[in-house]
Amino acid sequence: MSTLLRRLGTLDAALIVMGGVIGSGIFINPSVVAGYLHSGTLVMLAWAAGGVVALLGAFLFAELAARRPSDGGFYAYLRDAFHPSLAFSYGFTLLLVSQSGGMAAAAVTFAKYFAPVIGLAHLPSWLLGDAVIALFTLINCFGVREGATTQNFFMALKIVAIGGFAVVGLFAPHVAASAAPDAAAPAGSIFGAFAIAMVPVMFAYSGWQTASFVTAEMKNPGPALARGMVIGVAAIVLLYLAVNAVCLQVLGIHGLAATNTPAADIARLAFGPIGGGIMAAIVAVSTLGFLSNQMLVSPRIYFQMAADGTFFPWLARVHPRTRVPIISIALQGVIAMIVAASGSYSQVLNYVTNIDFLFFGFAAIALIILRRRDDAIGAPKPAISMPLYPLTPIIFLIVAWSIVTAVLLKSPVESLIGIGLLLIGIPIYFLFAASARRKERLA
């Protein structure tokens, strides 16, 4: 079995972090948060608080990467800190549900925005979406540098687009300053509303962990990935705060809460009817960049699972010339295309929206476990450490699992289905592990 090529650096890591987080949600979620809070100050505070939590997560994963620059990233952290069955369940859920569902949703969303622009509105959205998935699958089969360059290109476009959106706020008519404020709400209800509003905020910030999937192709995985995590998340926080500031300045808290399409409304206020087309292009670029990112990072998990001997061995095959796991890449593309064509991606995503945060909590525990092990054997200190340890990983754990609890209470059936899909992976792992042991005995 050939190894993967280490061709990615810190800039690649930072852009991959940003590409894994920024999708179309930031153009929609500000109105959801405003609908809960009804106060511009609280809205900005919520997004700032979410940014702090995201930065804690970035530092957490940065230290994990520095301590364990292992192939497989997050999968390897779970495997080494807990048990391979937990890591397998995480990867198994990525393949069948979360990553494939996210890719399908991004592809179909892109098709819905882009098809009318090129005169193909009559085509089924899934058809154009599958064509885009197939294109990115092919690009990533040519090599990790080709895949990363494509994702970086779209991430750069996203940065320009979001920056341009912030500039649009300078041209759009601003909300009347004399708009009457809401009456003060009781402190208890404000606290409850703020807690609920943090759920869409944190979902908008999630996704930085996928950059760790390409650890095996980082030139200097420990320092490069660690720095990329922190730089990427810090840039996202600044962009998100800018977007929300523009939304509040142009629409006001009442207007922001009353619309489902705040970005499109602002573009129309600034440029008239053509503004809708401009915003459609921005959303299309954003979703396309997210799709490119997921096609780059996701197959590396399945490759590592197979390399560990706990998944189909052919998924660990590397093309002798391009040195990428082309079968894992192709499998991810095919499953995403099937999910897109079935139209079930929204339901699939609803099943697992809390799975990421469940595993974020496990990541915090993993850091505590691995740090204690390293301290016990006198291992060298990593290049980057979690600030204010152990308080910060505990805070991150509490926030992550509080979101899991909130989603479970809000959508118990879908949450339990997601957890059920996760648990299915455990007996499947033991079947693969038993098969691997039989092959070793016969060898």
pLDDT in tens, 339-348: 999 887 767 7
Bigger pLDDT: 421 vs 261: 421
Task: Check pLDDT > 70 for residue 2.
Answer: no
How many CB atoms are closer than 10 A to CB 227?
Answer: 21
| Residue among 370, 435, 340, 423 nearest 77 (CA) | 370
- Report the chain's mean pLDDT, rounded to a whole number: 86
Q: Which of 2-11, 168-177, 297-306 has the lowest mean pLDDT?
A: 168-177
Task: Check pLDDT > 80 for residue 183.
Answer: no
**Amino acid 184: pLDDT:** 46
Q: Which of 35-44, 162-171, 178-187, 405-414 has the lowest mean pLDDT?
A: 178-187
**Amino acid 349: pLDDT:** 67
**Amino acid 157: pLDDT:** 84
Mean pLDDT on 168-180: 60
> Cβ(144)–Cβ(326) under 8 Å?
no
pLDDT band at 56 (very low <50, low <70, confident <90, very high): very high
Mean pLDDT on 183-190: 56
**Amino acid 412: pLDDT:** 86
Mean pLDDT on 63-76: 88
Q: Which of 85-89, 165-169, 260-264 has the lowest mean pLDDT?
A: 165-169
Mean pLDDT on 21-28: 81
Look-up: residue for tokens 């996928």? 210
Task: Check pLDDT > 80 for residue 189.
Answer: no
pLDDT band at 124 (very low <50, low <70, confident <90, very high): confident
3-state SS of the chain is: CCCCCCCECHHHHHHHHHHHHCCCHHHCHHHHHHHHHCCHHHHHHHHHHHHHHHHHHHHHHHHHHHHCCCCCCHHHHHHHHCCHHHHHHHHHHHHHHHHHHHHHHHHHHHHHHHCCCCCCCCCCHHHHHHHHHHHHHHHHHCCHHHHHHHHHHHHHHHHHHHHHHHHHCCCCCCCCCCCCCCCCCCHHHHHHHHHHHHHHHHHHHCCHHHHHHHHHHECCHHHHHHHHHHHHHHHHHHHHHHHHHHHHHHHHHHHHHHCCCHHHHHHHHHHCCHHHHHHHHHHHHHHHHHHHHHHHHCHHHHHHHHHCCCCCHHHHCCCCCCCCCHHHHHHHHHHHHHHHHHCCHHHHHHHHCCHHHHHHHHHHHHHHHHHHHHHHHCCCCCCCCCCCCCHHHHHHHHHHHHHHHHHHHHCHHHHHHHHHHHHHHHHHHHHHHHHHHHHHHHC
| Whole-structure pTM value | 0.88
Task: Show me where the domains of the chain are located.
Answer: 10-437
Scored b (16 or more CB within 10 A) or e, 92-114 reads bbbbbbbbbbbbbbbbbbbbbbb
pLDDT in tens, 221-258: 778 888 898 999 999 999 999 999 999 988 999 999 98
- In sequence order, the β-bridge partners of residue 218 are 8
pLDDT band at 191 (very low <50, low <70, confident <90, very high): confident
Helix axes 40-67, 74-81, angle to 10 degrees: 70
User: pLDDT over 90 for what percent of the chain?
Assistant: 40
What stretches of 85-134 adopt beta strand conformation (E)? Answer: none
Residue 71, CA distances (Å) to 95, 215, 237, 302, 350 in order: 18, 5, 28, 11, 30
User: pLDDT over 70 for what percent of the chain?
Assistant: 94
Task: Check pLDDT > 80 for residue 276.
Answer: no
**Amino acid 175: pLDDT:** 65
Task: Check pLDDT > 60 for residue 186.
Answer: no
pLDDT band at 181 (very low <50, low <70, confident <90, very high): very low
Look-up: residue for tokens 């590397």? 318
Task: Check pLDDT > 50 for residue 325.
Answer: yes
pLDDT in tens, 213-229: 888 888 887 788 888 98
pLDDT band at 305 (very low <50, low <70, confident <90, very high): very high
The fourth-level CATH superfamily of domain 10-437 is Amino acid/polyamine transporter I (1.20.1740.10)
**Amino acid 338: pLDDT:** 94
